[in-house]
Structure 1
């Protein structure tokens, strides 16, 4: 059964079905409808507003709105209502047949539209009034309703930068936010744009602080399973995802989950896994020091969810693909078979690459370790002719850095962003690329940028996308269980460019990364305490500040009578659930609950009262039991003897 058909019946909140309406009674006759569509159930529509011309060259006429039918059934729009927030208009057929085919388009136009530049054969509807809506102004919402008033589709595209410029949704699954629309001079009314993906492939990406759309889609994916779910998930504790797995098991779905031992045993994850196992769900931790770092799910042996996204309760910048292909699903289910049997890492037997084609999209799947991912990435970058745009949680592989430098040297547009904590960690390629003159940025402090995404030659017929679980590190290549997709498709590259632009445009250039006034200066042995310093020029009130290891967040509290203001140059010690260390007189001692992530290889964020990160650290090596982690430069930390409050 088609993936969209399944998801449509199960999750109207899914990104694939933006604007889907609840089913209502009755049928709608379609005179002259195509064979097999003699009757259409009212409410089965799944329509999207995909493009709009708000400001035509001729200010008196020429506005139009494009609709796309993402559902499995044809839709008649005669008698439907267009609403721009100022007025409502009943729609009448102006040209063409009175139905919108599945995967097809329709246009809503002004009554006096010249009907030039439109795609032949696309049904054209207009208003019974003198204008479409009350004239579609820059701030108007666009609403499409059934004749009974039920809302089916809505959108609020941003204002165009000038006349004659249309706004097109970047991808069929892009949420209705300003960055999800792009300007298209003249527009492409009624034509399949490069940004509408295949009905068998959907791209989801998250952009903090909100992640609800991707969670909705992942829940819908799990809810769509009828027989089996084979999953390899590095970390998982999102309550809605856990609940979806329980529902699947209770309706008779065979659920298997492979995960990483680190998170399987962590207290803040353990409760979720206990609940799954109590339902009879098979959960297999990898029980080794290397990571089971995959992030994929396979439903019913025919549909795949795969990418960089972890189903956790904290939001990060990520992407995920849904792909309907039995061949790809079979390879990944076989991968789960081996891991369930205890074969991880290099002990697995697998081909270096499997190749698949889905609706013209070429897909190469590589499974690591020793799966040839690093060499394939280098060869793809070396083959780039126009552009290489990347987002990287971590980039430490010299070979990939060398390939990016070679591409830039031959005139390729090389740009990217690296997570702000990992950009300056030991071994990162960030500094080398910046010193060579490349525009490689640090992601904004307010987000964990977790992407592993490379888009090559976007906008050309040879456009490619590389994405998956594989961080660009030696550990990912030689030790971890990883999956990476190499996809050749102009539509997907265009949609992935939206994810790149959303992060890149907000990221900071090397000369735009100021050190905050309030700094983390030291983390005590085993994370027992954290030292803060006010390096700014004004006093700082620590009331409401919090510390986070990106899995758990704790509030900094002040014992009775202890000051919370730090004057410039002053330090404070935060005791993390342990007795405070002895410090010199005048150093404030505050309290917070312990953070598991501070033990071993510390990772820490300092959040202001709004929840925005203002400083952070990520260690690059495991510390000895009595070693502290101390700031040794503006961007670097190193192992040192503890010096609390000094």
Structure 2
């Protein structure tokens, strides 16, 4: 039975209630819509689901058909989770070359045998060609001059700047804050207590800009490790609300593999402002030591952890009150196809356990870790390597040659990024933030960065100077599978004439042109041929 539900909705006036009345095994119960598609094009879908009762799940998938309605194949089915809350079920698919129609299906699935009629709710469901991030949503990496991007962010402030950074000793960034104050902008700054005697902090304070640290209350020995700024939130015009959030510390001479986002979003700005003022201890210009809370003294003060950006779900968490690195482990555990990551420090056993489990279940997992974090106490690197997972020491070819980012993309759809390293301190003690972005357009941007870092790590001998440089392998290259490191394909692939041989000298693959090529070498080790032009 399908009917409108007005009592429980996610948005708008009504949701769709799917009620399964038959207590029999099977799953062909639900709704379907047929839409025209372009063969070879990429499509996304998203369905907000809520399980109104136990013993019921929703499954979402697509059946591809030719223009004459003849069947081609079907996509994998994605399922709702066991939760009474609204949740997004989403995927990114590529239509077969001969496809002309797509049947978009939302079905009811019985779990463990139904004992009575059960129902589930659906809201805000859609299937469409991909959206790209709005022009005002920005993603930047080292080659984009992150310090200059931050200066530009501050230069556009007209009402307020709340800047929270572990360190920020670039004096041109300091000057941008002073310039903003001179324009009448309200400027407040929070940093780690280890910076109290730094020149940039003294300069700001001497000019009348209040700078606050985590030196009050318990836990000051841990890091105030955030890297975010909120601009112009709280004035009459919500259209100019902006958030800068990064893995980057704006330090003099720092050139590391990092990333930053600028998001135009009032709700996200409100959440970051609430977190800032929890640490500030007040809503005004003077911090209140008696009310200021850092580290494990903080509580969950934001109204919601779930937002929308360009129509896609965005989750936001803060440490330590939300234990965000535990969320990283949960997201990895839900991966169905691929997990690719790059991280400065990685000691969290729960994330390591989740990666090894997914790898053992056939999900491709791979990544790069900064060399400083490979063998630190509790490092997960040895465990991952022992499990056969392709994880490598970084080979960043520019600047300080440091991989400082904290980044993961799951199933080419979900991006996990924030200030927190995957560690016990990042989860339980430091002041941090973490995004989970269910946005395929943003995921594509972050995947380009991950491909680059992975390629450098697996091919250090041919790494060229300069961030963003692409690598070259000649055509008609002969590669022996047994000698190949497991790798990941980059975004630009063409290799006519490349031939792949196994350890016995038998040709196992000939590359005829552009594409994604997979093969499995002897044993369990999974390989992907890396060829970039």
TM-score (norm 1): 0.46
Report 1:449-598 matches (<5 A). 449-458=403-412, 463-508=413-458
Q: Which residue of 2 aligns with 1:204?
A: 140
**Following TM superposition, by how much is the alpha carbon of 1:196 offset from its aligned partner in structure 2, in angstroms?**
4.2
The CA distance in 2 between the partners of 1:241 and 1:247, in whole Å, is 10
Report 1:430-449 matches (<5 A). 430-444=381-395, 446=397, 447-449=401-403
The CA distance in 2 between the partners of 1:212 and 1:464, in whole Å, is 23
Q: Which residue of 1 aligns with 2:246?
A: 307
Q: Secondary structure at the match of 2:188?
A: strand
Q: Which residue of 2 aligns with 1:320?
A: 260
Residue segments in structure 2 that go unaligned for 5+ positions in a row: 1-38, 42-96, 98-127, 234-240, 282-291, 462-533
Name the larger-Rg structure. 1
For residues 548-573 of structure 1, give each alpha carbon's deviation from its aligned partner in whole angstroms, at most 9, with x where no partner exists.
xxxxxxxxxxxxxxxxxxxxxxxxxx
The CA distance in 1 between the partners of 2:409 and 2:383, in whole Å, is 21
The CA distance in 2 between the partners of 1:333 and 1:430, in whole Å, is 36
For residues 205-254 of structure 1, give each alpha carbon's deviation from its aligned partner in whole angstroms, at most 9, with x where no partner exists.
11xxxx56322221111111100001110100112211111110110000
**Following TM superposition, by how much is the alpha carbon of 1:193 offset from its aligned partner in structure 2, in angstroms?**
9.0
Q: Secondary structure at the match of 2:208?
A: coil
Are the aligned partners of 1:261 and 1:286 in contact in 2 as well (CA < 8 Å)? yes
Q: Which residue of 2 aligns with 1:378?
A: 329
Are the aligned partners of 2:396 and 2:403 in contact in 1 as well (CA < 8 Å)? no
Q: Which residue of 2 aligns with 1:262?
A: 194
Are the aligned partners of 2:326 and 2:427 in contact in 1 as well (CA < 8 Å)? no
**Following TM superposition, by how much is the alpha carbon of 1:351 offset from its aligned partner in structure 2, in angstroms?**
4.6
**Following TM superposition, by how much is the alpha carbon of 1:404 offset from its aligned partner in structure 2, in angstroms?**
0.3
Residue segments in structure 1 that go unaligned for 5+ positions in a row: 1-116, 120-185, 187-191, 513-646
Are the aligned partners of 1:395 and 1:472 in contact in 2 as well (CA < 8 Å)? yes
The CA distance in 2 between the partners of 1:350 and 1:321, in whole Å, is 23
Q: Which residue of 1 aligns with 2:294?
A: 344
Q: Which has the higher contact order (CA 8 A, sep 6+)?
A: 2
Q: Secondary structure at the match of 2:377?
A: coil
Matching of residue 274 in structure 1 with residue 202 in structure 2: yes
For residues 142-174 of structure 1, give each alpha carbon's deviation from its aligned partner in whole angstroms, at most 9, with x where no partner exists.
xxxxxxxxxxxxxxxxxxxxxxxxxxxxxxxxx
The CA distance in 2 between the partners of 1:309 and 1:291, in whole Å, is 15
Q: Which residue of 1 aligns with 2:180?
A: 248
Cα 1:278–1:292 shift into 2, 3 Å: same
**Following TM superposition, by how much is the alpha carbon of 1:376 offset from its aligned partner in structure 2, in angstroms?**
1.5
* Aligned residues: CA RMSD: 2.5
Q: Which residue of 2 aligns with 1:329?
A: 269
Are the aligned partners of 2:229 and 2:245 in contact in 1 as well (CA < 8 Å)? yes
The CA distance in 1 between the partners of 2:337 and 2:158, in whole Å, is 44
For residues 43-101 of structure 1, give each alpha carbon's deviation from its aligned partner in whole angstroms, at most 9, with x where no partner exists.
xxxxxxxxxxxxxxxxxxxxxxxxxxxxxxxxxxxxxxxxxxxxxxxxxxxxxxxxxxx
**Following TM superposition, by how much is the alpha carbon of 1:271 offset from its aligned partner in structure 2, in angstroms?**
1.2
Q: Secondary structure at the match of 1:334?
A: helix
Are the aligned partners of 2:299 and 2:321 in contact in 1 as well (CA < 8 Å)? no
Q: Which residue of 2 aligns with 1:157?
A: none
Are the aligned partners of 1:319 and 1:451 in contact in 2 as well (CA < 8 Å)? yes
Structure 1 residue ranges (4+ consecutive) displaced by more than 3 angstroms after TM superposition: 192-196
**Following TM superposition, by how much is the alpha carbon of 1:316 offset from its aligned partner in structure 2, in angstroms?**
1.1
Are the aligned partners of 2:280 and 2:293 in contact in 1 as well (CA < 8 Å)? yes
The CA distance in 2 between the partners of 1:254 and 1:351, in whole Å, is 23
The CA distance in 2 between the partners of 1:348 and 1:228, in whole Å, is 24
Q: Secondary structure at the match of 2:374?
A: coil
**Following TM superposition, by how much is the alpha carbon of 1:293 offset from its aligned partner in structure 2, in angstroms?**
0.4
Q: Which residue of 2 aligns with 1:388?
A: 339
